[in-house]
Amino acid sequence: MTATMRELLALHREAVATTDDPAERLRRATEAHVRYHAGHRLEAFVGNREIRSLVPSNRRRVLSLRAEYEKCFRDLVHAGITAGRFHVMSARLASYAILDLGMGVAVWFRADGELTEDIVTWQYGEMALRIVGAT
Rounded to an integer, the average pLDDT of 35-50 is 85
**CATH, domain 2-131, list 3.20.20.120, 3.20.20.370, 1.10.357.10, 3.40.50.10190:** 1.10.357.10
Give me the residue spans of the domains in the chain.
2-131
**Ramachandran region of residue 45, left (φ > 0), alpha (ψ -120 to 50) or beta?**
alpha
pTM of the full predicted structure? 0.94
Q: 133 or 47: whose pLDDT is higher?
A: 133
Q: For residue 135, give every residue at least 6 positions away whose Cβ sits within 8 Å of its Cβ, in sequence order, or none.
A: 84, 85, 86, 87
pLDDT digits (tens, 9 = 90+) for 64-119: 999 999 999 999 999 999 999 999 999 999 999 999 999 999 999 999 999 999 99
Percent of the chain past pLDDT 70, that is, above it, reads: 100
Distances (CA, A) of 86 to 21, 31, 82, 83, 124: 12, 18, 8, 8, 17
Instruction: State which H helix or E strand residue 48 sits in.
Output: helix 41-49
Grade residue 48 by pLDDT with cuts at 50, 70 and 90.
Answer: confident
State the chain's mean pLDDT as an integer. 94
The pLDDT value recorded for residue 46 is 75
